[in-house]
Homo-oligomer: A and B are copies of this chain.
Amino acid sequence: MSIPALTDLSRCAVHTITTKPWSLRQCIDGYTAAGVGGITVWRQSLAPQGLADSAMMLADSGLKVVSLCRGGFFPAMDDAGRKAAVDDNRTAIDEAATIKAPLVVLVCGAIPGMPLQQARDQIAEGIAACVPYARERGVKLAIEPLHPQYAADRSAVSTMRQAREICDRVGSDYVGIAVDVYHLWWDQDLEQEIASAGKKNRLFAFHVCDWKVKQTDTLNDRGLMGEGCIDIRRIRGWVEAAGFTGFNEVEIFSEAHWARDQQEFMTDIAAAYKKHV
């Protein structure tokens, strides 16, 4: 099956972390000028000017606010820690509602040495504790499985299957999955799990970047689309075949790209999006 290229950026969203040196104002202006249709806002982009000013800025921007990044980090060593995590996620839900983001993306968390199944149990409980609050505010929650290289301390949820199992357990139409090609490209069940998530209306987000074959850093050396080995377009074909009609979100953590002129980087993002997504 041949997937046609995207010819414009109307369904492209960019994460503010992707252009980390830019303020929220600069992100809005830069993305709009490039023809990008959407923005995913990282919480640190809200801090400098505050939530209310950020919300006004975004409302006036013409950009669709796709999601807020990020909540999660539910597992903790004691009840107080787990309660603090739920409280912080409720704050994230409030922030999302204020900036009219329909979704909070969850990096679910892990505690080094804690058995991963125990961490996943705590994640399911934490998400369940947030659901009524999220529903009241009309904000959905997306579990983002992270690559197994982050299983020790960032996410005990490493696969679509584990995200599905938590979705099944929580059992709410407010809880779904964010598919990020960087984290999931290696998984032999990816196509089938995407199809299954589509049938259950759980495909809440689709993130793109690339997996560089030689990484200098496990966190901040992600590739611009085309700089790595992922067949991104093929995976976009799978999410679209599963009924996903949302934004293709460009989320890149890269010290190398952050060190560049961000306007030039934005130009490269636009070109890479059309060529590789």
Q: Show the binding face of A for B, using Cβ within 8 Å.
A: 112-113, 115-117, 147-149, 151-153, 158-159, 162, 185-188, 211, 213, 215, 218, 228-229, 231
Contacting residue for A188 out of B162, B186, B213, CB 8 A: B162
The answer to whether B112 touches A229 (Cβ under 8 A) is yes
Assuming A116-B186, A188-B116, is B152 touching A149 (CB within 8 A)? no
Given known contacts A213-B112, A218-B215, A229 and B147 CB-to-CB distance under 8 angstroms = no
When distances are taken between beta carbons in the complex, the residues of chain B under 8 Å from A158 are 186
Cβ 8 A contact of A152, one of B162, B188, B218, B228: B228
Contact partners of A213 in chain B: CB under 8 A: 112, 152-153
Taking A148-B186, A158-B186, A215-B218 as contacts, is the C-beta distance between A115 and B231 under 8 angstroms? yes
Those 5 A-B pairs whose CB atoms lie nearest each other, nearest first: A151-B186, A112-B229, A148-B186, A149-B149, A152-B229
Which DSSP category, helix, strand, loop or mixed, fits chain A's interface?
A: loop
A147 to B218, CA, bound (A): 13
* CA of A186 to CA of B159, assembled, Å: 11
- If A153-B229, A158-B186 are given as contacts, then 15 extra A-B residue pairs at C-beta distance below 8 Å, sorted by A number, are A112-B213, A112-B228, A112-B229, A113-B229, A147-B148, A147-B149, A148-B149, A148-B186, A149-B149, A152-B211, A152-B213, A152-B229, A159-B188, A162-B188, A215-B218
Give the nearest-CB partner of A214 in chain B: B153
Task: Report the Cα distance A211→B188, complex, angstroms.
Answer: 23
Can you list 30 contacts pairing A with B, beta carbon distance less than 8 Å?
A112-B213, A112-B228, A112-B229, A113-B229, A113-B231, A115-B231, A116-B186, A116-B188, A117-B188, A147-B148, A147-B149, A148-B148, A148-B149, A148-B186, A148-B187, A149-B149, A149-B218, A151-B185, A151-B186, A152-B211, A152-B213, A152-B228, A152-B229, A153-B213, A153-B229, A158-B186, A159-B188, A162-B188, A215-B218, A218-B218
- Residue from A112, A153, A158, A231 having most chain B Cβ neighbours under 10 A: A112
Contacts of A147 in B (CB 8 A): 148-149
When distances are taken between beta carbons in the complex, the residues of chain B under 8 Å from A159 are: 188
